[in-house]
Structure 1
Amino acid sequence: MTITLQDVAVILGLRIHGLPITGTCDIDWSLLCYELLGVTPPTSEIRGSAISTRWLCHQFSHPPVDLDDATLEQYARAFILGLIGSALFTDKKGTHIHMCYLPLLRDLTQTSMYSWGSVVLAHLYRELCRASLDGATVIARCVTLLQLWS
């Protein structure tokens, strides 16, 4: 037995049919953060194409009282990015969130149309392969799926 796309859909409630999740990592991450989140993170909080989880949580933990639509969308993007990075595509330490998913949050009406379940399963299989190598001591990605499935 093995985890299937249907298992992902049932266990996590993620879409398994829809738009493919593709993109590029050749992006100016600071500029993209400013465009979609309304704030540029300090360079000390960016590691390659990942942003500090601590910084993201601290920056967006207290929304202003008088939210306009643009600010509400920025906070929603930050929340969804944090959810993606902490539940679906975690790194081994849990300290950083990959920003490659941020461009997919540009149009929030399209975000639910992506095949998130396919990517979660592909990343889980990739991580299981890496974890089986000699010397591997930790595993990342969506281990919640693995735990609930087993």
Structure 2
Amino acid sequence: MHNMMRTDLNLFLALIKCYSIEEHCFIIGGRRIVPTLKDVVRIMGLQIDGEAITGKDFGREVTEQLCNELLGDSRYVSGRSGTEISLKGLRENLQNIPMNLEDIDIYVRAYVLHVIGCFICPSMNPSGVSSMFLSLLRNVDEIKNFAWGAAFLTQSMNHVRHLKMKIDSTTTTGACIPFFMVFLFEHVNGLTNASLRLNQIPFDLPMEFPLLVSWSSLLISKSKNNHGKLAADTFVNLLQMSEIIPRPYDRLNVEFLPQYLKSQLHVAYTHNVLICFEQLAHHMPHIFLEMMGLEESDIGIIRTLPKAKSKHRKSSEKPDWGSKFQKHVDF
């Protein structure tokens, strides 16, 4: 997807500069705004309700055992600690699927793991994906039961926080830049014209599910010959003066979302803690009530959530993150 969509790194860096570590949100046009599960389900098309993405951390020995058992070979093990799985190895495996397979599950797991490492939960290491995810793929029929969208948002917001603290760093590995670009295009009035110079090109806003794919198609077709880019500081000034569009998805047809995702929309309005193994994030849709079509008088007292502080993985420790964060899993 990163290769399909024309991304603007300067726009993304400007967004990072607009992030407030203290308030856990972006400040755009003088207003607080933050992506929610409502954005994730429409932009990414990922399931936002289901089992938490959590479980045990593993060392090299267990990672090799898992790879042998679930992927058919331990050669995918990578990383200095031997706890990651090579994305290149997974790609090569998927390019050589034999005919007349007796067990297709090992290739299903390889494909899903590659999608996780490149698209849903990319790590700061662009060449590998944590073996912790592989443990969730043992039963391929149960993959659909996990809240992948919640894990995506958790990971994405933790990466935003990390980049904000290291704003002078040029690396943006681990951040799903296309998601944040579409989030901005949907919520910031006129930003598409400024970023992609489309003000002279007529176009209709995407209407097809998921929005990331339809936006990608639009940007490829409308900006092939567009080489002009604005500087990050110019984008910062633009965002500071911009008007927020509170409810951009009102334009979408009632049949936009598949039925299985429609039934999960209630989760997008909850104030809770999201989890993805060692990482936590507060889900705060009340930050901008207009996005939900609500006013202050429509809500009561907002409950206080348990403190959501992510942990750092250590090579010397292999905890069970589900047990360590049990209060958040149960909350």
TM-score using structure 1 length = 0.89
- Corresponding letter in the other structure for 2:92: H
Answer yes or no: is 1:35 the counterpart of 2:77. Answer: no
Residue 90 of structure 1 deviates from its aligned partner by 1.7
Residue by residue, what CA displacement relative to the aligned partner does 1:32-73 show, whole Å, maximum 9, x if unpaired? 011111111166x344321221122223321111211x2x11
Structure 2 alignment gaps of length 5 or more:
1-32, 185-331
Structure 1 alignment gaps of length 5 or more:
none
The alignment-based identity, stated in percent, is: 27
Counterpart selection for 2:44 from 12, 18, 29: 12
Return the index of the structure with the highest Cα Rg.
Answer: 2
Distance in 2 (alpha carbons) for counterparts of 1:34 and 1:16: 31
Match of 2:56 in 1: 24
Contact 2:137 2:143 in 1 (8 A): yes
- Corresponding letter in the other structure for 1:23: G
Distance in 1 (alpha carbons) for counterparts of 2:137 and 2:80: 20
User: In the comparison of the two structures, how many residue pairs are matched?
Assistant: 147
Counterpart selection for 2:147 from 111, 115, 130: 115
Distance in 2 (alpha carbons) for counterparts of 1:86 and 1:149: 19
Q: Secondary structure at the match of 2:141?
A: coil
Residue 16 of structure 1 deviates from its aligned partner by 1.0
RCO higher in structure (CA 8 A, sep ≥6)? 1
Answer yes or no: is 1:125 the counterpart of 2:125. Answer: no
Counterpart selection for 1:65 from 99, 112, 120: 99
CA RMSD of aligned residues (A): 1.7
Answer yes or no: is 1:96 the counterpart of 2:128. Answer: yes
Distance in 2 (alpha carbons) for counterparts of 1:124 and 1:57: 23
Distance in 1 (alpha carbons) for counterparts of 2:46 and 2:76: 33
Distance in 1 (alpha carbons) for counterparts of 2:105 and 2:125: 28
